[in-house]
Amino acid sequence: MQSKLDLNLARILCEIIDAGSVSAAAESLNTNISGISTGLNKLRKYHDNVLFFRQGNGMKPTALALELYKFYRPALSLFDEASKLNGDKLQLASPTKLRIATIALLDLLLVDKFLDEPDFCNGSSWDILAIPRDPATRIEHLRRKQVDIDIGVALPRDGALISYPLFNSRLVMVCKNDHPRIKQRITLEQYRKESLLGLISADEKFGKEIPIVQYSDNSLLFKQSRSSSMVNILLQVSTRESVTFVPSALAPWICQRFNLRLIEYDFVLNDTVTLYAHLHRAEKNNVMLKKIISFLSNLE
C-alpha cells in the first residue's frame, strides 16, 4: 500500500459515485475516460481492494467505496472551500456569464430585477434559459455545468448537486383591476361561474389525467383552458374577464407587473407551490448565485 493518497484520486472516486458512470465522471472532471480508468487502478492498488464493479451501463460502488465516500466527500468539500477563500473578491473583480435555467414567470421576474437594478449582477452578463420539462435533462445540464443554477420544481436527489428551498406558497386568486363582476370577495357559487385559466404544472407528464382538487364532490380547480406558460395566462387575465391562481410569494409583484388585483374567497384550497434552486456543489460559494437565492427566498 502506498504511503500517500493523491486527492485527485479521491475526487475520481466521489465523482464516479455521484455520476454513476466513468464517462459522466470524466465529463464532470473535464478529463478523458482513460484518465479516470488510470486513477481507478491507482485507487484499487492503494486500498488493495476492488472499489467498483460494472452493472449495466454504469459502475456500482462496493461497500468499501461507499465507506470511503463518507470521508472523501466532506474532505474534498473542505479543500474546495479553502481554495475559494478569496473567491468572493475574485468573482467581484472578474465579471462572469451567468446561465440561469428557470420557469417562464421567474425568468421575467429575474430580468426585471437585473434590468431595474444593474448593480445586482456586479457587472456579470447573463443568459436566462427555458427550463426543460425532463428532470434528467435538468440534472445533466447542472452536472455538465451547462447552466449555473436551475430554478423550478424539486429534482430527484443527486450527490453532485445542492438544492435550496426558495418558498412554499399557498395559492391566491387574481383578476384584472376593472373586472366588472368581481369585487373584493368572491363566493364559491360565483367562482364556479367565472372563467378560470390554469397552469400546466412543470412536473405534469404529457398524457396524464388532469389533476383536480375535490370540494364537495365537485372539481374546484378543474380548468378547461390551460397553458404551460404562466406569463401567457397572466397576460390573458389582465385583459379578459377571467381569473387564475398564483403563488402568494409572487402575488405582489404579479399584481403590479400585470395590473391585477387579489380576490378574497370563502372556500378552502389546500394546494401549494414549492420551488427550489439547484446548483452544482462546486458552485455553492458562488456570490451571484447566493444573491439570487437570497432574493427569491425573501419573496415569501
Q: Which CATH number describes the domain made up of 168-270? A: 3.40.190.10
Does 212 score more than 80 pLDDT?
no
Q: In the predicted model, what is the mean pLDDT of residues 93-98?
A: 66
| pLDDT reported for residue 235 | 94
- Please check the confidence at residue 210 and state whether its pLDDT lies above 60: no
Domain 95-167+275-297 CATH assignment equals 3.40.50.1110: no
Give the pLDDT of residue 1: 44
Poorest-confidence range of 1-10, 122-131, 231-240? 1-10
| pLDDT for residue 239 is more than 60 | yes
Please check whether the domain covering 7-83 is classified as CATH 1.10.10.10. yes
pLDDT of residue 177: 93
User: In this structure, what is the dihedral angle of CA atoms 154, 155, 161, 166, given to the nearest 10 degrees?
Assistant: -10
pLDDT above 70: residue 223: no
In the chain, % of residues over pLDDT 70: 86
Give the count of alpha carbons within 13 A of 215, CB side only. 15
pLDDT of residue 282: 83
Fold match, 95-167+275-297 / 168-270 = yes
Q: Which residues touch 278 (CB under 8 Å, ≥6 apart)?
A: 138, 142, 149, 150, 151, 155, 161, 162, 163, 164
Domain locations in the chain?
A: 7-83, 95-167+275-297, 168-270
pLDDT of 289 over the 70 cut: yes
pLDDT at 225: 81
Query: Which uninterrupted H or E stretch holds 133?
Result: none
Distance between the two ends of the chain, CA-based, in angstroms?
55
Q: How confident is residue 97, by pLDDT bands cut at 50, 70 and 90? A: confident
User: pLDDT at position 159, please?
Assistant: 80
The answer on pLDDT for 74 being more than 90 is no
Higher pLDDT, 13 or 123: 13
Instruction: Provide the pLDDT for residue 85.
Output: 59
Q: Which residue has the higher pLDDT, 60 or 251?
A: 251
**The pLDDT of residue 84:** 58
- Mean pLDDT of all residues in the chain? 84
The pLDDT of 49-67, averaged and rounded, is 84
**Chain segment 98-156, per-residue pLDDT in tens:** 999 999 899 999 999 999 998 998 888 999 999 998 999 999 999 888 999 999 999 99
pTM: 0.69
User: SS3 for 266?
Assistant: coil
**What's the pLDDT score for residue 214?**
37
pLDDT at residue 155 in the model: 93
Q: How far, in Å, CA of 38 to CA of 181, rounded?
A: 72
- Would you state the pLDDT for residue 191? 86
d(CA 66, CA 240): 58
